[in-house]
């Protein structure tokens, strides 16, 4: 199996993609707005990917956080709130307020997860566990649940619990923390000059949720740990901080290889993130030339990564769209309010 998650070029698997994917046998796929037209088309697309792989538990990912990061939306799907808008508590809430926020988050993400499962999507790249700082770039902003690590961790746990009830896995991100970055890693390479003591706050939510099945790395340089390489391509950060200090032993996925924080051609970037210790390289854009180059250069998935992938797939399940399912989603949304 190829240790890569690939994107697709459009709303249907092309003949060239089908031939390539059949030979490459990637670990999974990720979908974007260009792949989505309506519920019938989307479910047919995800069914075709499972048929191609011969696995019902094939990971099919999407970025469906809510708010400004949502690939599914009206008129065919619900509009989901951003994490911060959903929570609506201060950073020092009364316990009853926090309990209500936890319940709202769990209801919201169970409902969101059921909507995804009905479309044949079984992994969403959420929750964001980054702890934003006041002077940071707003690429995180309202995608974060709160400004304090303790609340971020508790609400992130509620998000994962809700998704799990729907049979959908969450991907905690952006490990070990993107909240201090002064730039958007889609556009440039952020450098964080914080001390190890300061970075402890960034790591805290990830430590609390280190038992999550999947995580996504940050394309951010942390000078206190590795002044030369961003986390996604740093053996030091992945092994010493993510695996040992944070204690994460789930499936580690790189952030998108196409982001400008990384350098070199796309196959070289894929090789670099895997060599540093990521289990899976994430290639989102569905360009067949890049995908062929990756398949030619990267090694087969390691035995350890394969075991992590098997564990991550264990809880995935699909749903069928039906009046009963829609009623359950409506019930959860009403309880969230």
Catalytic residues: 186, 255
CB 186 within 8 A of CB 139: yes
Given a contact cutoff of 8 angstroms between Cβ atoms, the answer to whether 197 and 170 are in contact is no
Peptide bond into 73 cis (omega under 30): no
CB neighbours of 42 closer than 8 A, spacing ≥ 6? Answer: 31, 35, 36, 119, 120
Q: How far apart are CA 102 and CA 97, in angstroms?
A: 9
E strand map for the chain = 2-7, 26-31, 60-62, 64-66, 69-70, 123-124, 169-175, 191-192, 214-217, 221-222, 251-256, 280-283
Residue matched to tokens 């609400």: 155
């Amino acid at each position: 199996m190829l240790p890569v998650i690939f994107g697709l070029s459009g709303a249907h698997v092309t003949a060239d993609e089908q031939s390539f994917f059949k030979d490459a046998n990637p670990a999974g796929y990720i979908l974007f707005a260009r792949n989505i037209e309506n519920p019938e088309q989307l479910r047919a697309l995800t069914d075709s990917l499972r048929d191609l792989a011969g696995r019902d538990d094939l990971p099919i990912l999407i970025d469906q956080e809510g708010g400004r990061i949502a690939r599914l939306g009206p008129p065919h799907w619900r509009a989901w709130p951003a994490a911060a808008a959903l929570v609506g508590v201060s950073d020092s809430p009364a316990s009853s307020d926090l309990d209500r926020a936890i319940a709202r988050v769990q209801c919201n993400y169970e409902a969101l997860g059921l909507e995804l499962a009905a479309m044949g999507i079984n992994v969403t790249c959420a929750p964001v566990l980054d702890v934003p700082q006041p002077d940071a770039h707003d690429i995180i902003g309202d995608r974060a649940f709160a400004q304090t690590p303790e609340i971020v961790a508790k609400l992130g746990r509620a998000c994962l619990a809700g998704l799990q009830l729907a049979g959908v896995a969450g991907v905690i991100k952006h490990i070990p923390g993107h909240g201090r970055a002064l730039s958007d890693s889609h556009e440039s390479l952020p450098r964080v000059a914080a001390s190890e003591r300061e970075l402890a706050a960034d790591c805290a939510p990830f430590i609390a949720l280190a038992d999550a099945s999947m995580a996504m790395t940050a394309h951010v340089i942390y000078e206190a740990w590795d002044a030369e390489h961003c986390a996604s391509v740093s053996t030091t950060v992945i092994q010493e901080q993510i695996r040992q200090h944070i204690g994460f032993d789930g499936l580690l996925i790189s952030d998108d290889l196409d982001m400008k924080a990384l350098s070199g051609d796309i196959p070289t970037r894929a090789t670099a993130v895997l060599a540093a210790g990521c289990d899976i390289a994430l290639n989102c854009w569905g360009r067949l030339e890049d995908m062929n180059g990756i398949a030619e250069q990267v090694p087969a998935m390691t035995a350890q990564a394969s075991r992590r992938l098997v564990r991550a797939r264990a809880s995935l399940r699909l749903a069928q769209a039906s009046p009963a399912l829609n009623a359950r989603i409506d019930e959860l949304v009403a309880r969230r309010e």
